[in-house]
Amino acid sequence: MDYTTNYYIKLLTDKMAKSMCFLDPNFVSIMNMIFTLYIGYVYYANKGIILFIGLVILRTFIDIFDNSLSTMCNKNGNLYESIDYIGNSFFFIILLTVLYLKKEHPALRILSILFINILLACILISSIYRKNKTFIHNNIIFSMITDNTIILIPLIGYLFYAIVY
């Protein structure tokens, strides 16, 4: 029995995915990236923390759902994995970009640029390690992050929001 937070969300998304196999997980991932742009707008325009966190939770749920769609409908592959990972990184790049644009403090701007570059490097490294999935599952830090995204991603979003506003 798995007691991570994503386990319970995945039970729901797996059930949903079984009845929605007509959807392409790549399409869902790309639509989630477009949704991420809207989240970036809400964050940049300071439309409210409750709206922002609600949208981040929905985005994370959709991300878990597209994974369920991929596995439950046997539509997984290298293209899906790449699009999904780039979409997840894109979310953080948007947060860091807004931080960069909103904060005048040079140290925060340098940190934003540094973390954007680190995320881009992680995309490259991930493409190398994607062939060996045990690397992520055997690493406790990666496992804790990937198995609890429904809590961690909104929490990280809240921290970014608190830094800017």
In whole numbers, what is the pLDDT of the chain averaged over residues?
Answer: 86
| pLDDT value, residue 4 | 83
Cα dihedral 40, 43, 46, 51, rounded to 10, equals 100
- Give the closest residue to 95 by CA, choosing from 115, 118, 66: 115
The predicted model scores a pTM of 0.84
| pLDDT value, residue 35 | 98
Domains of the chain in sequence order: 5-164 (1.20.120.1760)
- What pLDDT, in 10s, does the model give residues 117-159? 777 777 666 665 555 566 666 667 767 777 888 998 899 899 8
> What six digits make up the tokens of 86?
């780039």
How far are the Cα atoms of 6, 141, 150 from residue 10, in angstroms, in the given order? 6, 20, 10
- What pLDDT, in 10s, does the model give residues 15-24? 999 999 999 9
